[in-house]
Structure 1
Amino acid sequence: MIVFAHRGASAYAPQNTVPSFKMALAMKAQGIELDVQLSSDGVPVIIHDFMLDKTTDLSGFVHTHSWQELRKADAGLWFGEEYRETRIPSLEEVLALIPKDVLLNVEIKSITSLNQPVARIVSQVLNQEKDRNLIVSSFNHPILKDFQLLSPEVKIGILTANDFINFPAYVESSGIRPYSIHPEASYLSYQSIEDYHKRGWKVMTYTINSTTQSRMVESLGADGIFSDYPDLNSDIQDSD
């Protein structure tokens, strides 16, 4: 079972920043997950929340700030004094940092009503990474469909935080051809995972922050987990 470092080693360093990704690599994480959204001038930047207030010294929505403004923000002081002046990275900066053999899960964040060209822009950047081990995921399923049309060779992961009555039927009607399904852990069952596997879909679940949780979802048949503590779960990672 693969363990993804969720937003990097986010229990130990500010999430979605270079220090967090470097720490995950030092911990030999098999996979790294990050979040990408667009600045006001269309630069794909690495940050989870749509609002800047929680993890930076800026306020307001990410999409209302230019890349020049965002790259000057302090994205580390909220976590600890030692991370003062840690910056929000761009997608291209993080791709240059993470080795191509590390499985990278790029989660696209997008507010539907903004109608931003996020699928096209992220696709253009990732198309420069032909030999990278990559999954693109999102809770915004229309964005995933758009991305799939632009980059049909990239693996797609469908994120969900809902308990669908018949999720496989929903997926098959969506037009998305997923490599993997990424449900919130409380919705997992042996039967649902078996059903997904019969359709050829991997199952990656979030957010798992103890070995007890890890072993539980592994016993159900999950293929991967997202964890803020990649080292905590290292004893259950595949040796592959």
Structure 2
Amino acid sequence: MQLPIIVKRPFRIIAHRGASAYAPENTWAAFKLAVDMGVKDIELDVQLSIDGEVVICHDLSLERYGHPGYVEAMSWAELSQLDMGSWFSPYLFHGEKILRLQDLFKECGSEITYHVELKGKSDKLPGQVCRVIEDFNLGDHVIITSFSYETLERVSAIAPCLRLGWLVRKIDDDVLSKARALEVFQICPRADLLTKKAVRLARSVVPEVRAWGVNGSREEVLALIQTTIDAGCDGTTVNWPDWISH
């Protein structure tokens, strides 16, 4: 298959944790590379430090990145000193730092749409995220996502104007019913479980359907990208955002 795969606007090419196939996930290096590739949608994960800072990091444990401990058990002063790049490439990315949500907002502003997944377990995370979004007046440029329906309910109660994306395994009657009740903006099913019928049904309930889980070998990733397009999705997260183009 020839690259890039061409899609029609307004299909969302969402850089998953930035251009994370080429740079350490959720770091400025990955986000900047995605922006340089022309991407307008970036997915990222947030947790809360022990002193209340909204920190961009996927794993609850820091072990995969070469450090002991847990994000939510550390202060921002401690987290800000960590090398978050050497695990990916000590030659290219040694010394790459962890970011706060406010740091990314300061750098990119309204240039992109942020798909912010609430990953942390702190009860205070939804409120703190909403506060940072309000401080930067970026509500129109953010979609809050989570696998937890209850977490999305909490976000809706705090900031009813924010768009919500519910991450699910597949689209079924229960998902459609709950999505309708909460008036979510996106239903986000797993790419390998998509069907045209399910996407069509979801479109009767929400404005957008976007996929996740585009992983595997080169051939598997390309096939999953094509699956999301053929099923009629409105976008997908992808670690290789340059493999798709408008």
Give the TM-score normalised by the residue count of structure 1: 0.90
Asked whether the 8 Å contact 2:145–2:152 carries over to 1, the reply is yes
Q: What does the per-residue CA deviation read over 1:169-195, in whole Å, with 9 as the maximum and x for residues that have no partner?
A: 2334xx522000111112211111001
**Residue 103 (structure 1) shift:** 1.5
Q: Distance in 2 between matches of 1:193 and 1:162?
A: 10
Once residues 164 and 44 of structure 1 are traced to their aligned partners in structure 2, the CA distance between those partners, rounded to angstroms, is 33
Whether 2:88 is the aligned partner of 1:70: answer no
Query: For the residues of structure 2 that align with 1:143 and 1:2, how far apart are their CA atoms?
Result: 24
**Residue 60 of structure 1: CA displacement?**
2.1
Aligned match of 1:116 in 120, 123, 142?
Answer: 123
In structure 1, what is the Cα distance between the partners aligned to 2:38 and 2:109? 11
Distance 2:213 2:109 in 1: 24
Matched-pair contact (CA < 8 Å) for 2:179–2:205? no
What stretches of structure 1 of length at least 5 have no aligned partner?
A: none
Give the counterpart of 2:67 among 58, 68, 89: 58
Q: 1-side partners of 2:242 and 2:158: how far apart?
A: 35
Which range moves more in the overlay, 75-84 or 125-134?
125-134
Name which of structure 1's ranges 202-211 and 8-17 shifts more when overlaid on structure 2.
Answer: 202-211
Q: Secondary structure at the match of 2:126?
A: helix
Conserved? CA contact 1:14–1:76, under 8 Å: yes
CA contact (8 A) 2:43 2:237 kept: yes
Structure 1 residues 156, 90: closer, same or farther in 2, change over 3 A? same
Structure 1 contact 207–228 (Cα < 8 Å) conserved: no
Structure 1 CA distance, aligned partners of 2:198 and 2:137? 33
**Aligned residues of 1:135 and 1:157 also touching (Cα < 8 A):** yes
8 Å contact kept, 1:37–1:109: yes
2:69 alignment partner AA = G
Letter in 1 for 2:135: Q
Give 1:191's aligned amino acid.
K
1:73, distance to aligned residue in structure 2 (A): 0.8
Alignment of 1:64-213 (within 5 A): 64-81=73-90, 82-111=92-121, 115-131=122-138, 132-161=140-169, 164=172, 166-172=174-180, 175-208=181-214, 210-213=221-224
Amino acid at match of 2:208: K
Q: What amino acid does structure 1 have at the position aligned with 2:123?
A: Q
Match status 1:217 vs 2:223: no
Candidates 37, 42, 55, aligned match of 1:32: 42
| Cα distance between partner residues in 2 of 1:183 and 1:47 | 22
Partner amino acid, structure 1, of 2:185: Y
State the AA in 2 paired with 1:17. T
What is the Cα deviation at residue 164 of structure 1?
Answer: 4.8
Paired residue type of 1:62: V
Quick one: which amino acid aligns to residue 103 of structure 2?
E
RMSD, matched Cα: 1.6
Q: Give, in angstroms, the shift of residue 165 of structure 1.
A: 5.5
Partner of residue 240 from structure 2, selected from 223, 229, 235 = 229
Q: Is the 8 A contact 2:83 2:96 kept in 1?
A: yes
Q: Is 1:44 aligned to 2:61, yes or no? A: no
How many residue pairs get aligned? The number is 229
Secondary structure at 2:69's aligned position in 1? coil
Partner Cα distance (2:136, 2:199) in 1: 31
